Amino acid sequence: MAAEFLPAVADWFRETYGEPTYPQLHGWQAISEGHHTLIVAPTGSGKTLAAFLAEELMMSVRTKRVYDPRSPGDGTRILVMRLWPRGIKKSRVDRWLKELGAEIPLIRAWKSGTLTSWPEFRRRYLAGLKKPVARAQIRELKALAKKGRVTLLCACPDESRCHRGVLKRLLA
């Protein structure tokens, strides 16, 4: 299947349904690339199942504050900050991919209020992810997410205004 489902889900789908239908295949591809997607197809073509499984595409990556306690559903806990957070023991994090954190000048501009536009923050953050070392860490993160659940960790209190939310949507 073109979409990158968790192995157990992909195996279940193949055993139960065989190959995906055309609407499923193309719908999942668009969703996995981050596009807003409407699947229009005849009754019986698998649209409902496609929508249900599309949610699973996005659920293999979760986010959480690094200060929140570990939970069984976290999977691999990955810190995505440039600097190690104060008071956090290394045992609370499985991997540190610091190149996926927002660059320090960007963080300073956001926290000082010299940068107030969230779309501009997002644009600059995504531009920083185009550097070769960040792209390598994105590939590493995608490989981990293929194997099972991953939880992106950062100190920001609000995911809707945090780079970890942007990164999660980029991976979906």
pLDDT (tens, 9 = 90+) of the chain, 172 residues, equals: 545 566 677 788 888 888 888 988 888 777 765 567 888 888 888 888 887 777 666 567 888 999 999 887 788 999 999 999 999 999 999 999 999 999 999 999 999 999 999 999 999 999 999 999 999 999 999 889 888 889 999 999 988 889 998 998 888 6
Terminal-residue alpha carbon distance, the chain: 16
Question: Alpha-carbon distance 125 to 167, whole Å?
Answer: 9
Q: Which two tokens stand for residue 43?
A: 């009754």
Provide the β-strand partners of residue 40: none
Are 94 and 127 members of one domain? yes
**Confidence at residue 48, expressed as pLDDT on a 0 to 100 scale:** 85
Neighbours of 65 (CB within 10 A): 16
Q: Residue 76 is which amino acid?
A: T
Are 76 and 147 members of one domain? yes
Question: Alpha-carbon distance 43 to 66, whole Å?
Answer: 45
H helical segments located in 3-131: 7-17, 22-32, 47-59, 104-112, 118-128
Are 77 and 103 members of one domain? yes
Burial pattern 21-41, b for ≥16 Cβ within 10 A else e, equals bebbbbbbebbbeeeebebee
**Confidence at residue 2, expressed as pLDDT on a 0 to 100 scale:** 45
Please name the residue that has the structure tokens 């929508």: 51
Are 83 and 13 members of one domain? no
Residues for the chain: how many in total?
172
**Confidence at residue 56, expressed as pLDDT on a 0 to 100 scale:** 65
Are 146 and 95 members of one domain? yes
**Confidence at residue 90, expressed as pLDDT on a 0 to 100 scale:** 94
Helix (H, G, I), strand (E, B) or coil at 41: coil
Neighbours of 96 (CB within 10 A): 17
Are 107 and 133 members of one domain? yes
φ and ψ of 102, to 5 deg: -65, 140
Which domain, by its residues, includes 40? 7-59
Are 12 and 90 members of one domain? no
Neighbours of 100 (CB within 10 A): 26
